[in-house]
Chain A
Amino acid sequence: MLESRQPNGQVITGSVQLIHAAGMHARPAVKLTKLAKKFKAQISVRASDTADWINAKSVAKIMALRAARDSIIEIEASGEDAEAAVAALIDLVATDFPDTGQ
């Protein structure tokens, strides 16, 4: 799910279900953070059942997210490549954090 909240496209939001068996544990957290860091956009994520948005580029905070399997991860980004960032992160979570060889 990907939508632009504002007409000018400044804030891009999306959400995706976490299908990883173990939830957002260490290895997925590293992959998500590494991918987020490839974009210039400011990116925040949260698990649906927690109130605080956290910086997707902070590996410590993403690991501490402790999102359980089947929870919905919300993603919000702003900046020039925000749309690509949200799409890439949704894809990463939706495809269950595949190994890219990187």
Chain B
Amino acid sequence: MNDMVGIVIVSHSKDIAKGTADMVRQMVGNEVKVAFCGGDPDGGLGTNVSLIIDAINNAWSPKGVAILVDLGGAETNSEMAVEMLQPERQNLVVVCNAPIVEGAVMAATEAASGSTLEQVRAVAEELSAG
């Protein structure tokens, strides 16, 4: 129960990523680890594999990490980041097919009760399942 799935937010915009993380902390609380990254290293819009890897490691939990992404490249770069993790961590990270803000809040709400990674992903993806 003490371990909670960590949440990573990956946006093309650092402002969106940070704002989403702020919403999660204010609405759900600080008990769930939330890390975010956005923008390229030069300050422009984009996503960056090594920044995503850092965020995953910052949010790391033995229960795993759920990633929420915005547009195309955020997803492919997140998948690339997962492939570059230590092998034993790769199966403990999922990229959720969910809207970034709503998905992050719902995933964190579920994570806060000590749910498994699959439960957290399912709750985030409930939104897309309509």
Which of B8-16, B52-60, B109-117 is the contact stretch? B109-117
Contact with A along B25-36 (1 / 0, CB 8 A): 001110100000
B-side contacts of A60, CB under 8 Å = 106, 123, 126-127
A-side contacts of B127, CB under 8 Å = 60
A87 on interface, CB distance cutoff 8 Å:
no
Which of A32-40, A43-51, A68-76 is the contact stretch? A32-40
A17 on interface, CB distance cutoff 8 Å:
no
Secondary structure call for the A interface = helix
A6 on interface, CB distance cutoff 8 Å:
no
Secondary structure call for the B interface = helix
Count A interface residues, CB 8 Å.
Answer: 13
B-side contacts of A57, CB under 8 Å = 113
**Chain A to chain B contacts (Cβ below 8 Å), 10 pairs:** A30-B27, A34-B29, A34-B112, A38-B113, A57-B113, A58-B126, A59-B106, A59-B109, A60-B126, A102-B29
